[in-house]
Structure 1
Amino acid sequence: MSKVLPTPAKRILPSKEATLFKELLTLYETRQLKKGQKTADQILKKFPEHGETLCMKGLVLTHMGKREEGIELVKKGVRLDLTSHICWHVFGLIQKGEKNYEEALKSYTQALRFDKENLNILRDAAQLQTQLRLYEALVDTRHTLLKLRPTLRQHWIGLAVAYHLNGNLVEAKKTLEHYERTLKNIPAYDVEHSETLLYHIHVLEEMGESSDALALLDVNAKSRAIVDRTAIMEIRARLLTKLGSEEAEHAWRVLIEHNPDCYDYFRGYLSNQGLSLDTPSTDALTILRDFSTQLPKAAAPRRLALSIASRDDFRELVKPYLLSGLTKGVPSLFVDIKSLYKDDSKRQIVEEIVEAARTDFSPDSSAPSSSSASVEPTTYLWTLYFLAQHYSYLSRPALAISAIELALAHTPTLPELHTCKARTLKRAGDLYGAARCADESRLLDGQDRFLNTKCAKYLLRAGLVEEASSILGLFTKKDAASPGADLEDMQSLLYLLEEADAHYRNGKLNLALKKYLAVQKIFNEIEDDQYDFHGYNLRKFTINIYLKLIKWEDRLRSHPAYIKAALSASQIYIAVHDDPSITSAASSSTAPLTDAEKKAKKKAKKAAQKVHEDAKKAPAPAAHEDKGLEAGVPKDDDPEGIKLLSVADPLEQAYKLLAPLGTLATENIDVWIAIYDVAIRRKKLLQAVKALNHARSLDAENPELHIRLVHFRQAASALPQQPPAPIGSVFTEALSKLLPEEVSLDTYNSQYLQRHSSSPRAVLAAAKVAHALQAPLPDVEATVFSTFGPDIKLDIPTALLFVLFLTTLKSSRLEEFRANCDARFELSTLFKPLTELEVLKKRALVANDPQPKADE
């Protein structure tokens, strides 16, 4: 038997105070905080060094908004009584509220040393272990909970889930079987029991025991123990397919009849036949055609048939599909079929069919067999709209504008037409014109939030940040500090990334960095938000969706928004490391506030004060919540982002942002290029080698990789001495494999340019490498201007990168390059002289004068 530690004398209270302490615990549980504070003061008046009372008072004060005072009392209480489970539990609650999960778990572990069977502490510890993915320890904790309360159903399920997360499916299965044998008098249509059975089936399926899973499913489906009928059909079809049963075809057919527009059901049906939608197949096409006949109202089989049809079959199938969509006036028809454009022959067929329809539907058609008299006038309108999107997508802006102008002449009040024109102008490089068209679209329906958001997005693309903010303010909270602050609170990733990019393009790196890091903060909050679900899902028995949540959270930072923000922020940090004067330039460029900005700042201050007052007046949280323990929203003492930009360790900050991407975005070559950029500057040579090797395995001829390989050779040559063993030999061997020593860098660059002379990005990379190798400026400029050759398809984004490169070179031929681009991209305004750009900007600003606020 374990030795029971004696209770310290200083913890023992007289009868009266002991009763008061029990009352204090009850008052805290029921959130009677003021009474709790008075009760604690009564005890502390006689026993000022009673650690447990000090901790409880600190906890009460924390919930009352006196956070700093409360935390100090808790820390003092712990110091006074290091063997009290109450003190350690309270300390753990405080640390958990500060999102310091590792330290909170240590505190709970300490608390359990002195009270091994405390259910509250064990439950809190289990949630923290799940949050930290400490699954082995989680199994032990769940075992303890089950031993203490074997009659609680959630303890059985908690143990099964713990085994599952730890990869021990056999024990998870045994636990579920034992749990189900203990059940008695289960009420009819018990959703919790139904979810548990579905989870049991999921475990069996994951173990490969499909026969047992199917038997369990059938038994409980017949007895109505499982109430989710759709889930029964889906799981049954999947299991029958895995077992190779003849019943599988019928099961999938039942599902398709249940929901004929679900693509996954058709994929399952075809997979059961040994067919796939990823490869063209006559048999698969025949099956989909049969379904189209049997289910004439279902769009899914007709659309899926287009993906796998060959040229002749495609023409036959796509014509009725397109004409039906145009006749019905489906605005999303082009979005639906544009993925087919990967095949040039299919793209050409679509173009021919819709152009023919345009002629037939035109009211001016003079063909004797014209069907224009028998169709609705809107059919012609939607045909023009489709063609405008088609030509815009194919980078043929003149044809797109021609079609959209005809459509606007036909119906000038359709917002989609103005939005399409805006998109076309944006792709063509006329950002101010795009913003003007988006605003015209918005004004046609002042209550449409989508059009409002689209307009603001295009204003941000044009660099008009203040104007975009005023547009966004039409639909944000009126008492918010600013439209941007409200959108950040609502975790609008689109807004944050677009505004960050706008600031980046405008050269305001401090403001751009602030918005990029706001995106990172949102992902941190999403990660923290899962904490409450570790307990909630077990209480509600929503196990299957909970396991999906865990998997999704594990890959949270593979989200495109996080990758974009992390890459852009790391580029800013690298730029600051390479040129520290950027920080001082950003600080000095902060212009004095205008009258409007002063009013906005005053409004923001009032709004922040109101939020603080409302927080004080807010009712206490429910007994099971710990909201009072969470740190409040910190005051923003760096509105301009200057402190973020001037951190002492920019490379370390960049490394932290990129670290998750090394395992979550392994197929993204830009991630590995960024990891190399940070690693080589941190003198982490093996990390740099690993990044280059991985990038090379993804795309050995990537232009950015070409630049980094040359840079790596130069950095290695500049090392004062060979890296020490064992790094030295590994480093030398890796370098020789990446870029052999016997190949001169000039020759390597020339060979690369010869191999990719028709790629503008490769030409730019070769020019940058030539400059890094100290080639004469005229030679570098000649390489740059070779991009105007007849065989090179120069696009606008790459042309802008060339302009940026020539600007950094301080080239005298910069304006010549801009003039050539201006002539090549006729609709673009990006390469106009600065004076002309200012005129275009003013014209866009006039078009976007503040309008009356829309009714909400």
Structure 2
Amino acid sequence: MPSSDPLPPKENAIFRKILKCYEMKQYKNGLKLAKQILTNPKHTEHGETLAMKGLTLNCLGRKDEAYDHVRRGLRNDLRSHVCWHVYGLLQRSDKRYDEAIKCYRNALKWEKDNIQILRDLSLLQIQMGDLEGYRETRHQLFKLRPSQHASWIGFAMSYHLLNDFDTAYEIMETFRTSQTVESYDYKHSEFLLYQNQVIQESGNLEKALIHLEEHQGQILDKVVVQEIVGSLSLKIKKYDKAIGTYMDLIKRNPDNAEYFKCYLEAKQTKSSDETVQFYKEMSKEFPKSLCVQRLPLDVAQGTTFDGLISDYLKKNLRKGVPPLFVNIRSLYKDSYKVSTIEKMALEFCENLKASGHFTKDDFESGLAQEPASALLWTYYFLAQHFDYQKNTQKALDYVDAAIEHTPTLIELFVVKGKIFKHAGDPIEAYKWLDEAQSLDTADRYINSKCAKYMLRANMLKEAEEMCAKFTRDGVSAMENLNEMQCMWFQTECALAYKRLNQLGDSLKKCHEIERHFSEIVEDQFDFHTYCIRKMTLRSYVDLLRLENRLRDHPFYFKAAKCAIEVYIKLFDEPLKASSATEEIDLENLSPAELKKLKNKQRKAKKKAEVENAQQAKAEKKKEQYNKSKQQQNQDSGDPEAPQLDELIPEKLERTEDPLSKAIEFLKPLQMLSSGLIETHLMTFEIYYRKNKVLIMLKALKKAYSIDPNSAALHMCVFKFIKLLETNLAEADEILKQVLLQEIKEELPILEKKPVELNEDYIKRNPNNPDALIVAAEILHETSPENNKTKAIDLMKTSTKLDGFYLEHALLIHDLLKSNKLGNCEKELEEFLSSFREKYPYVLSFKQTNLQ
């Protein structure tokens, strides 16, 4: 439908030039042309011209003026599809996709067959996950442009994403048979592979295999064809075909472990002896393959394993392979293999020191001596081995011997730092990583590793300075790492700030990480048209599915967990309204103390002035960079990105409703990380403070389905039962009936009394240190006067269990130090005495006071 306010021919020609200028990114010319129309007294309020002027102003970064012009234009011509479309483009540039979709739909009311509006609408629908709407829009585009490849592909994909595989296949098959292709190119190859993926996902594996065999001559990626044929043959139990396919793949790439595993599965090899024999045969054919040397170690047993591991260790120690221990660490699940490896490595070490050979037999047979570095790498391996076994002293002895042997090998200092980290001394750990970094200041990996250890030691300023060696000049390292979405650094910063009780700074880092994930989702917008045009369809579908579960990533989980814990702490312990510092009573200070205080204040003032000057300089450079970036955006025609609210730590930590903010971080975890018990425990803790009993019960039920013996879950159950005891009588009658019925049917354990619940839990978990420590805390809470001694005895029992590790000792230390069991100075000192003997390197155990 034409505009309700059409322009005369002369002005209409100028308006078309404005559209052309916008497409050609000649924005200043577009504004001049718009002025020609709007200065005409008859057309000063012409809606479409005002809208186009607003769109042009938006591209120049003049956002407020842009919105003003577009809204004026829309008011003057509500029936114009151009005005609605432009308003939608403006909303899209500000990432308000829901509003933009509404604008596009309004535009289509007046111009239902407009191709450009339909395309823009389809992009927003797939971005927002509106698959039903996307299918309808792609269907309309298909009807309007049936000759375009993109119309067929987008239409088929809309059904595929809705799991209507048969319809998607039929559309693609119709498209394929209608094509007359003389030579098959990459795009057609990718199309066929995507069509095959749709058949596989429909569950018809036989049909998928037949389809692949029929069209494999037209598919250019031969390796992928073989991999799919092998996988499908294996699934439908065509083992002969799978055997031949995977053998061809092994010959092509004998270092792919998956090929060997699939080949053995196709051969239906179950005996470990047969598997080892197969790898021995393969080692003759592929002597340089790492897989045929490493994979048999997983299945070999007894003397067979002894011979294989001996050869494997000798070869790698002789060559000096740093990740040797990492390569065989998965074998440490088997106690026999662990003892065998340890015995051999110690024997190698002694013989190398004595004769330069790995074994006495090698020495007696007159073989040439091993290289001098073999002893060094044996020391290195043994240090890692004993560290993994939690034998800190032996690990340090061997790494020190290695450093004495070769004091310039960076890996030795890294391992020594790791040993101290595992031993509970982050300060000493950071010092050794700093030493490693000083040996090679151009190594970004060591630099990052050192920064991470600094953050673990709560040395934030030093970590930032360390990272500044590899960040852009003119911008602070913290800012630059945020721009680069360096989430490991920000996560460690958030945790360090939390440990230092700088809660606002911790929340700032968590929110920055959350924004990164939002930016990643928004960045996919550029790929919707690109992937269909370039026919990278399988990767595109993978991208869409990845984006749907993006916040399931460990980086987001860590940040969300940290933020939720901080917000809960802020709810439990709100900050004081005034941040004013207490005035120091100067009159009562001695002259020496007064002089010391003044010196301290003078140094602090001087340090603050230097820091302010550096910050001002950095801000100035940052401002110049932002201006140049904004100018580039204007020149390139990209609309200015919406400005996000600045994250100010003081505001973040003084939020009015901490629990609502915590729930914002929790919601993605509930949708995507429901398989982790921590998600449901955090849900319980938040809603426990909101007194939402049904949500708490639901969280407990899900947590029980994951791990009914979890110590943290047991504490939550205790809290819930205590809450019911105090609040159930006052609850609404209907709520009470629903709650009691749900408990009876789903979690009858909640009907028990706290004391009975705790006793049953101890009986079920007599060898679990976590369980006994939590049970001790609950035991004291049920009867503080009578059960303190019993609680202490229970914790002492936990220290004698085989599964008692450093983390349990730290848990007991924190529990007693926090006075949750009352005044326990004497008991704490007894525990510390035994802990210092068992864990001599832990910093918190070295302190003799109870600060």
Instruction: Supply the distance in 1 between the matched residues of 2:125 and 2:8 (Cα, whole angstroms).
Output: 38
Q: Distance in 1 between matches of 2:220 and 2:802?
A: 62
For 1:794-837, what per-residue CA distance to the aligned partner results, in whole angstroms no more than 9, with x for missing partners? 43333333333334327451555545433331122232228999
Give the aligned residue type for 1:617. Answer: Q
The worse-fitting range, judged by mean Cα deviation, of 443-452 and 781-790 is 781-790
Contact kept in structure 1, 2:564 and 2:682, CA below 8 Å: yes
The one-letter amino acid of 1:321's match is: Y
Task: Name the stretch that deviates more: 85-94 or 253-262.
Answer: 85-94
Q: 1:531 aligns with which of 525, 536, 561?
A: 525
Q: What does residue 688 of structure 2 align with?
A: 680
Contact 2:768 2:798 in 1 (8 A): no
The 2-side partners of 1:588 and 1:730 are apart by 52
Note closer, same or farther for the CA distance 1:807–1:20 as it changes in structure 2 (3 Å cut): farther
Q: What is the CA-CA distance between 1:769 and the residue it aligns to?
A: 2.1
Matched residue, 1:416: 411
Q: Which of residues 770, 787, 800 is equivalent to 1:790?
A: 800
CA distance in 2, matches of 1:727, 1:287: 65
Of 823-832 and 561-570, the range deviating more from structure 2: 823-832
Counterpart residue type for residue 472 of structure 2: K
- Aligned match for 1:646, one of 654, 657, 667: 654
Q: Which amino acid aligns with 2:284?
A: T
The residue type paired with residue 548 of structure 1 is D
Q: Which has the higher contact order (CA 8 A, sep 6+)?
A: 1
TM-score under structure 2 length normalisation: 0.90
Question: Structure 1 residues 30 and 747 mapped into 2: Cα distance closer, same or farther (>3 Å)?
Answer: same
Q: How big is the shift at 1:599?
A: 3.0
Hey, what does 2:228 align to over in structure 1?
235
What secondary structure sits across from 2:188 in the alignment?
A: helix
- CA shift at 1:189, angstroms? 4.7
Are 2:189 and 1:194 equivalent residues in the alignment? yes
What does 1:324-723 correspond to in 2, within 5 Å?
324-362=315-353, 369=361, 371=363, 374-480=369-475, 482-581=476-575, 594-618=608-632, 620=634, 627-632=638-643, 634=644, 636=646, 638=648, 641-719=649-727, 721=729, 723=731
**Contact 1:112–1:118, Cα closer than 8 Å, also in 2:** yes
Q: Deviations over 1:125-181 (max 9, x none)?
A: 111111222212211111111111111111111111111001111111111111112
Query: Which residue of the partner structure matches residue 103 of structure 2?
Result: 107
Instruction: Please identify, of 818-827 and 151-160, the stretch whose mean Cα deviation from structure 2 is larger.
Output: 818-827
Question: Residues 202 and 518 (structure 1 numbering): CA distance in 2 closer, same or farther, change over 3 Å?
Answer: same
In structure 1, C-alpha distance between the alignment counterparts of 2:23 and 2:816, rounded to whole Å? 68
Mapped pair 1:775 → 2:775: no
One-letter code aligned to 1:117 = D
Q: In structure 2, how many angstroms separate the alpha carbons of the residues matched to 1:531 and 1:613? A: 25
Give the whole-Å Cα distance in 1 for the aligned partners of 2:223 and 2:503: 51
After TM superposition, the structure 1 stretch with the greater mean CA deviation from structure 2, 228-237 or 435-444, is 228-237
Cα distance in 1, alignment partners of residues 2 and 347 from structure 2 = 93
1:159 corresponds, among 148, 155, 171, to 155
Match of 1:851 in 2: none
Q: Report the residue type matching 2:232 in the other structure.
A: L
Report the counterpart of residue 739 of structure 2 in structure 1: 731
Match of 1:12 in 2: 6
User: Once the two structures are superposed, what CA deviation does each residue of 1:549-593 show, in whole Å capped at 9, x if it has no partner?
Assistant: 12222221111111111111111111111221378679999x987
For the pair 1:175 / 2:171, whether they are aligned, the reply is yes
Question: In the alignment, which of 263, 266, 275 is matched to residue 272 of structure 1?
Answer: 266
Matched, 1:824 2:838: yes
Tell me the distance in 2 between the aligned counterparts of 1:834 and 1:322.
45
- Given the alignment, which residue of 281, 284, 296 partners 1:290? 281
State the number of aligned residues.
817
| Alpha-carbon separation, structure 2, partners of 1:621 and 1:248 | 57
Equivalent residue for 2:308? 317
**SS at the partner of 1:581?**
coil
Asked if residue 150 in structure 1 is aligned to residue 160 in structure 2, the reply is: no
C-alpha distance in structure 1 between counterparts of 2:743 and 2:205, whole Å: 51
- One-letter amino acid matched to 1:506: L
Q: Give yes or no for contact 1:142–1:155 (8 Å, CA) kept in 2.
A: yes
In terms of mean alpha carbon deviation, does 294-303 or 412-421 score higher?
294-303
Distance 1:132 1:722, change over 3 A: farther
1:333, CA displacement in angstroms?
0.9
Rounded to whole Å, the distance in 1 between the matches of 2:314 and 2:12 is 83
> Structure 1 residue 396: deviation in Å?
0.6
Calculate the aligned-residue CA RMSD, in Å: 2.7
Q: Using the TM superposition, name which of 793-802 and 170-179 deviates more.
A: 793-802
What is the alpha-carbon distance in structure 2 between the residues aligned to residue 647 and residue 294 of structure 1? Answer: 67
The 10-residue stretch of structure 1 (112-121 or 45-54) with the greater mean CA deviation from structure 2:
45-54
| Letter aligned with residue 417 of structure 2 | A
- Structure 1 distance, partners of 2:228, 2:451, is 45
CA distance in 1, matches of 2:442, 2:508: 31
Distance (whole Å) between structure 1 residues aligned to residue 515 and residue 739 of structure 2: 36
Q: CA separation of 1:789/1:631 partners in 2, compared to 1, >3 Å: closer, same or farther?
A: closer
- In the alignment, structure 1 segments of 5+ residues that lack a partner are 838-856
Alignment CA distance shift 1:41-1:271 (3 Å): farther
Which residue does the alignment assign to 1:844?
A: none
Seq. identity, %: 34
Query: 1:684-743, CA deviations, whole angstroms, 9 ceiling, x for partnerless residues?
Result: 322211110111111111110110001011222232656547643331133345365763
Q: 1:749 to 1:368 in 2, by over 3 A?
A: closer
Find out whether 1:299 has 2:290 as its counterpart.
Answer: yes
Q: Residue 265 and residue 601 in structure 1: after superposition, are their counterparts in 2 closer, same or farther (change >3 A)?
A: same
TM-score normalised according to structure 1 size? 0.90
Q: CA-to-partner distance for each residue in 1:769-810, whole Å, 9 max, x for gaps?
A: 245435138448725752674336543333333333334327
State the alpha-carbon separation in 2 of the partners of residues 494 and 121 from structure 1: 41
1 CA distance for matches of 2:253 and 2:577?
A: 58
Distance 1:406 1:370 in 2: 24
In the other structure, the counterpart of 2:94 is 98
| CA distance, structure 2, for counterparts of residue 433 and residue 508 of structure 1 | 24
Residue identity in the other structure for 2:557: I
Note if 1:89 corresponds to 2:80: no
Read off the aligned partner of 2:221 and give its amino acid letter: D
SS in 1 for 2:646: coil
Q: CA deviation at 1:402?
A: 0.5
